[in-house]
Structure formats: structure tokens, C-alpha cells
Amino acid sequence: MDNDSSVPTIPGSAGSLPPPFDQVESHLGRVVVIAVDQAVARATDNWDAKLQTMRIQLQTMQTQLKNELTVAINDAVPRGQENSEPQYRVSK
């Protein structure tokens, strides 16, 4: 194994950096956390917007279905007989 003394080493434990690199590392850590938080917030906002759009589409579909059912029922019931007995009976 080569022991090249020209390669700089980091003093202390494997995770610590000497000044001013420790401040840079700390700053980068905060920047990464902020970037992730912002990305999550944007993704959440996008999903919220998509869900709102889907809710509106479902409400529109529900209204259309109610209207179509109303038309179908009105077509099936002869005029003037809406409250009378049905003209057909199911035999038992």
C-alpha cells in the first residue's frame, strides 16, 4: 500500500472538517435542507392543485349525471301521470 505524504488528510474524526471547511459543510447542509423543503412544498402545492381540479371535474360529472337521470326519468314517465299509480305491475 502506498503512503503518499502529498495527499492531504483530514485531522480528527472521519466526519469533521477543519475550519473554514466545517462552516462550508454546515452551510451546505442547511442549503440542502432548505432545497428539499422547497421541493416538497412545490410538489405538495402541485398535488393540491391537481386534486382541486379533479374535485371540480367530479362535481361537473355528478351534475351531468343528475341532469341525464332527470331527463331519462322524465322521458320514462308519461306527462300527467307523475303522481298516479304505475300502469304496469310485477306479477308474483
> pLDDT tens-digit profile of 44-65?
999 999 999 999 999 999 999 9
- The domain in which residue 25 lies consists of 18-73
- Dihedral sign computed on CA atoms, order 60, 62, 67, 72: positive
The pTM for the full model equals 0.49
The total of structural domains in the chain comes to: 1
Inside any domain, residue 68: yes
DSSP state of 91: -
Query: What share of the chain in percent tops pLDDT 70?
Result: 70
The answer to whether residue 33 sits within a structural domain is yes
**Is 64 part of a structural domain of the chain?**
yes
Residue 82 contacts residue 73 (beta carbons within 8 Å): no
- Is residue 67 one of the residues assigned to a domain? yes
35 within some domain: yes
Q: What is the dihedral sign for C-alpha 60, 61, 62, 64? A: positive
* Residue 2 within any structural domain of the chain: no
Residue appearing with cell numbers 492531504:
8
Query: Does a structural domain hold residue 10?
Result: no
Is residue 90 one of the residues assigned to a domain?
A: no
